[in-house]
């Protein structure tokens, strides 16, 4: 990192589990062990938006209540020091921004708002959606045209968020990509690391890019980022 002129961090669900947000594939605790992924496809939402909200309520509440953990804060610190130029995240929780990070590209969208689905396209803040849900409206409906409101997240079968094009530009400019908490099982994001020669991977399990990486650390993510910051402090001292 000290030698890299341009470092991009790519994060996945694993960086947010310490904030109380479950990942998707961990045995016994991942979201897909409790919820059928079909409800999180654009076809599933179109067919039955009420079921999408019913099964997604737990994740919705987890995200709304979550705070950044040590790993988010450490990455924000590395950005402030100029050692990380940007963050590309698959997460929709907004925790990087809450931790103080800037230049964050959310390739799967986010939970800051919702848009009228195949109706008038009115966009509302997520707080309005939460109010409608807590009032018992499932699915929450657009007050202008009555169509369901869909959170501004990318469902399976949808086109990637506009941030994805910017993320590609960032990765192409990078000398080093640091993958943190990402299983690298979801396309097309899992193809981004192929654009960069130097890879460092911090994850609890193996990924498809381990063989290409210069460094692979399998262990606790927040503990590892803390050790990185402490080592940089030691060298600076």
Q: Which ranges in the chain belong to alpha helices (H)? A: 42-47, 49-65, 70-80, 95-99, 126-134, 163-173, 221-236
72, 96, 108, 209: the active-site residue: 108
DSSP 148: B
Contact indicator for 199, 193 with CB cutoff of 8 Å = yes
- As a residue count, the chain comes to 237
Instruction: Identify whether 108 is a catalytic site residue.
Output: yes
Dihedral angle sign, alpha carbons of residues 181, 183, 189, 195: positive
Sole residue written with tokens 């179109």:
46
**E strand or H helix at 92:** none
- What 3-state DSSP class applies to 85? coil
**β-strand pairing of 104-106 with 86-89:** parallel
Contact indicator for 205, 183 with CB cutoff of 8 Å = yes
Residue positions annotated with a catalytic role: 108
């Amino acid at each position: 990192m000290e030698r890299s002129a341009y470092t991009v961090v790519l994060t996945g669900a694993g960086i947010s589990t310490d904030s109380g947000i479950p990942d998707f594939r961990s045995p016994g605790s991942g979201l897909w062990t409790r919820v059928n992924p079909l409800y999180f496809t654009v076809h599933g939402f179109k067919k039955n938006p009420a079921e999408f909200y019913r099964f997604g309520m737990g994740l919705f509440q987890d995200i709304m209540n979550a705070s950044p953990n040590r790993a988010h804060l450490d990455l924000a610190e590395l950005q402030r020091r100029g050692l990380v130029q940007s963050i590309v995240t698959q997460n929709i929780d907004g925790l990087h921004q809450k931790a103080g990070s800037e230049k964050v590209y959310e390739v799967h969208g986010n939970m800051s708002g919702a848009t009228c689905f195949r109706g008038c396209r009115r966009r509302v803040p997520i707080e309005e959606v939460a109010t409608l849900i807590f009032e018992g409206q499932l699915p929450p409906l657009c007050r202008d045209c009555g169509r369901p409101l869909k959170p501004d997240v990318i469902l399976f079968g949808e086109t990637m968020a506009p941030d994805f094009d910017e993320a590609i530009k960032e990765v192409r400019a990078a000398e080093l990509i640091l993958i943190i908490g990402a299983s690298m099982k979801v396309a097309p994001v899992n193809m981004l690391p192929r654009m960069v020669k130097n890879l460092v991977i911090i994850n609890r399990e193996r990924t498809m890019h381990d063989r290409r990486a210069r460094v692979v650390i399998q262990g606790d993510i927040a503990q590892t980022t803390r050790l990185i910051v402490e080592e940089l402090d030691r060298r600076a001292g």
